[in-house]
Structure 1
Amino acid sequence: MKIMQVIPAIDLRGGNCVRLKQGDYDQETVFGDDPAAMAAHWEAEGATRLHLVDLDGAKAGHPVNVEAVRSILKRLTIPCQLGGGVRDEATIAVWLEAGLERVIVGTQALKDPAWFRAMALKYPQRLVLGLDARNGQVATGGWLEVSSVEATTLAEQFDDLPLGGVVYTDIACDGMLEGPNLAATEALALRLKTPVIASGGVGRLEDLAQLAALPIAACIVGRALYDGRFRLHEARERAGDHSSTP
């Protein structure tokens, strides 16, 4: 039976747990000021992996919420992946040494494909391609800049690499709770060998059931969980996620 893992998200800004609407830094909701406690809550609720985002880091181009991330990693036994501000090998190495399972790279993969290819080969299965799209085109720099490169084109360019996955986010859906872009997610997954992780737009349990029917490995869920639209165990059940901690 196919399993789609459900991964709770913790977005960090100014040391707090927050969510943005469509990546807009001016549309922020704060959900807590203790990221480590929030992470422990999701682990207690049954999460088998967490998705962390350094929003300040994505904007600044280097890690910012370092202490918050370290406090999370010290508290948990489940693996975590993190994106936001990963633009050089030193940052990759520091985060992996700190205990992250996987590091997500987006902006720099677009700007310097040769570098990303070298890093993926040097750290097999430890890097994830962060594919954030606005109208089908790759957005970078904390979603503040939109390129002319098609998201699927960029992903296919790296499909031969030993990546841990591709996180695909349709920015228009993110934080809106109106459903993910199923068509774009499925089209991407059908073109790649690399496992696809969907992100953005989940607002109902039915959204998870629809995603679980697609050929994807996992789904990241944020605002719907924080808003209490459903519980994590309900989400995992609807997604057919019976995975245990690796």
Structure 2
Amino acid sequence: MQLWPAIDLLGGRCVRLQQGDYARETVFSNDPASVAAGFQRDGARHLHLVDLDGARAGKPLNLDAVRAILAAVDMECELGGGIRDEATIESLLELGLSRVVLGTSALKQPEWFRDMIAKYPGKLVLGIDARDGFVATHGWLETSTVQAVEFVQLFADDPLAAIIYTDIATDGMLQGPNVEAMREMQASVRLPVVASGGVTTAQDVADLAAAGLHSAIIGRALYAGTLTLKEALAAAKTPIASPT
């Protein structure tokens, strides 16, 4: 199972939010590039970046920090947050990102998103953020009436790089992931599903691996010290059950 340490960017700093609430922010570093370099030294081969300002504004706003991170590491890096048009997709890929994550635009313009997947095969990731099983949008500030498991079926046969499934209720709470919800999502599609939200211990990582998840994003646990990247990487080697 792949592990993607997370760096959330707000005002150029590395922060974490609790349950996507911008009012519940913890600043972990004023130098995100050094944080990224630290993850690489600890064995990370993948890096998940989120532009929190961009998610609210509808366009990426932390590009200086992203450029600094890309210059500091040699990892597969992805970015989500405010990516809602083709020009932005193209510019971010040209910047050196391996793939980009779209969520709100996919929900609001599914046919356009399908066209983009076809134009950039293997480069786009569908970010599905769910609150009580329903898709949340606009930086988690709004909740739709669309069920997450049903929504993903719209793109199940398209050449997406992956699906990131975030359970908002567990995100940043250090109380463990919603393993059953993640298992259900992975079982519903053949695409790689990346579990996000709540990973706190090595056992959480092992449970997700055993549930058949392709990847997992780890954020606050790495910053709070409840889990080291070395421990997480070892736990991720748990034999993965095939999705059914």
Q: Could you say which residue in structure 1 is the equivalent of 2:99?
A: 102
Is contact 2:206–2:238 with CA below 8 Å preserved after alignment?
no
Counterpart CA distance in 1 for 2:92 and 2:36 is 17
**Aligned counterpart for 1:13 among listed residues 1, 6, 10:** 10
Q: Could you say which residue in structure 2 is the equivalent of 1:138?
A: 135
Percent identical pairs in the alignment equals 56
Deviation, structure 1 residue 230? 2.0
Counterpart CA distance in 2 for 1:209 and 1:125 is 27
> What is the correspondence of 1:32-181 to structure 2 with a 5 Å cutoff?
32-181=29-178
Deviations 1:154-199, CA, capped at 9 Å, x for gaps:
1111011000000000000000011111111111110101100000
Q: RCO (CA 8 Å, sep 6+): is it higher in 1 or 2?
A: 1
Q: Which amino acid aligns with 1:222?
A: G
Q: CA RMSD in A?
A: 1.0
Deviations 1:32-60, CA, capped at 9 Å, x for gaps:
00011111110111001000000000011
Mind listing any 5+ residue stretches in structure 2 that lack a counterpart? Answer: 240-244
Deviation, structure 1 residue 237? 0.1
Is contact 1:5–1:241 with CA below 8 Å preserved after alignment?
no
Q: TM-score, normalised by structure 2?
A: 0.96
Counterpart CA distance in 2 for 1:6 and 1:163 is 18
**Aligned counterpart for 1:23 among listed residues 20, 24, 28:** 20
Q: Could you say which residue in structure 1 is the equivalent of 2:242?
A: none
Q: TM-score, normalised by structure 1?
A: 0.96
Deviations 1:104-142, CA, capped at 9 Å, x for gaps:
000000000000000000000000000000010000000
Is contact 1:96–1:103 with CA below 8 Å preserved after alignment?
yes
Number of residue-to-residue matches in the alignment: 239
Is contact 1:6–1:241 with CA below 8 Å preserved after alignment?
no
Is contact 2:210–2:238 with CA below 8 Å preserved after alignment?
no
Counterpart CA distance in 2 for 1:195 and 1:203 is 22
Mind listing any 5+ residue stretches in structure 1 that lack a counterpart? Answer: none
Q: Classify the secondary structure of the residue corresponding to 2:185.
A: helix
Q: Which amino acid aligns with 2:115?
A: A
Query: Is 2:225 the counterpart of 1:234?
Result: no
Deviations 1:185-230, CA, capped at 9 Å, x for gaps:
1111101011000000011111111111012110000000001112
Query: Is 2:202 the counterpart of 1:205?
Result: yes
Is contact 2:209–2:238 with CA below 8 Å preserved after alignment?
no
Structure 1 stretches of 4+ moved >2 Å: none
